[in-house]
Amino acid sequence: MHFMKHLIAGAAALVMATPAFAEFPDKSVTLVVGFRAGGGSDAAARILAAEMETQLGQKIIVENKGGGGGAVATQYIRSQPADGYTIGFAVATTFAFTPLTGRVDFTADDVDFIATTHGYRTVYAAPKEAPFDDWAGMIATAKDRGWINYASIIPLDRAIMQYIGKKEDIAVNIVPTRGGAGARQAVLGGHVDLGFSGSNALPMMEDGALKVIAALNPEGIAEHAQIPTLGGLGYDVAASEAAVFFGPKGMDPAARDRLEAALAEAVKSETFRDFVNNKFRGFETFRSGADTAASIAADTQAYEGLMAVIAE
C-alpha cells in the first residue's frame, strides 16, 4: 500500500515538473521584407507587422533584405528554422516568374505560403508630350518607325513587352532603370516612349504629368475604367502581382495557421485599408496560404507560356 502511494505521488510530481509546451508565439517574430526600407512594399509590411502584434501579443521585428525582387530575402528565409519565428514578405512574381529566369535556385515549392494580403497595380506610362494618347496610337507610332524605347524595371515587365513586340512586329529597345522611380523619371523626362510603373504613376497621370495607356494587372484600374487592360487589348498576358507572406518549407502547421489568422485580421484594419486604397493605390484582396500557393502555381504556368513565345 505504501509502495503504491509513493508511486502515484512520484508520477504526479513528474507531471507537474514537466514544462508545458507554449502556444505559438511565446517570443518575438522576425519579418524579413524583401525590399528596401522606405518604399511602398516596406510601408505595407510595417503596417501589417504592427497590426499582427495586436493579434499575436508579441513584438514583430522588421528587417529589410532587398535585392532580386524578393529573391535575396527568400534565400535567407529558406535557411531559417521552420518554427514560424522568422517569416518573409515578397511578391507573387518572386515565386511565379523569377525562378523561370534561371537566376535563382529556388521555386515556389521551396517555401510555405502563409497568406496574400493585397494586390498591386502596374501600368504602362508615357510622356505627356508623347505623339499618342492611347495604346492604339502608341502601336501605330512604333510601327511607323519600327521600334520603341522602353523603360524596364524587372525581368517580368521586360518579358511582357518583348512578347508584345513580337506580336506587333516592333523592335523593343530595353532601357534598364533602377526601380520604379528610375523608370518614371525616364518617362517624365521624355527619355523613353513608354515605361513600366507601379500605381505611383496614377496620381502623376491625374496631375497631367504623364499618360497612362494600359494596365498590366488583369483587374484593371477601378477608378479609371478608361485605362484598358492588356487582356482587353487582345494580348493573352498580364502581370498579376500581389504581396505574399511566406516561411521556410515544412513550417510548423500550428504556427503557420496562427500567422495566417493574424494576417486575416490585420488586413481588416482601417489603417491598412486606407494605405492600400488611398496611398499605395493598390487593391484589397486576401488569400489563405493554400489559395496563395494555387494562385502562384497558375501564374507560373501562364508565365511559362509567355517565355515559350519569347524564345520562339
Helix (H) or strand (E) holding 214: strand 210-215
Q: Would you state the pLDDT for residue 127? A: 97
Q: Where are the domains of the chain?
A: 29-120+241-311, 122-215
41 has pLDDT over 80? yes
Burial class (CB in 10 A: 0-12, 13-18, 19+), 38: exposed
- Which residues are bridge partners to 33 per DSSP? 64, 89
* pLDDT category of residue 21 using cuts at 50, 70 and 90: low
215 has pLDDT over 50? yes
Q: Please report the sign of the dihedral spanned by the C-alpha atoms of residue 45, residue 51, residue 53, residue 59.
A: positive
Helix (H) or strand (E) holding 207: none
Q: Would you state the pLDDT for residue 231? A: 95
The b/e string for 232-263 (b: 16+ C-beta within 10 A; e otherwise) is: eeebebbbbbbbbbbbbeebbeebbbbbbebb
Percent of the chain at pLDDT exceeding 70: 93
Return the CATH number of the domain spanning residue range 29-120+241-311: 3.40.190.150
Question: For residue 231, how many C-alpha atoms fall within 13 Å in the half-sphere facing its CB?
Answer: 7
Do the domains spanning 29-120+241-311 and 122-215 agree at the CATH topology level? yes
User: How many CB atoms are located within 10 Å of the residue 173 CB?
Assistant: 12
| pLDDT digits 0-9 by tens, 145-174 | 999 999 998 889 999 999 999 999 999 999
Q: What is the mean pLDDT of residues 168-196?
A: 92
Q: How far is CA 288 from the centre of its chain?
A: 15
Residue 218 CA to residue 114 CA, distance in Å, equals: 23
Q: Would you state the pLDDT for residue 221? A: 95
177 has pLDDT over 90? no
Query: How would CATH label the architecture of 122-215?
Result: 3-Layer(aba) Sandwich (3.40)
Residue 222 CA to residue 270 CA, distance in Å, equals: 20
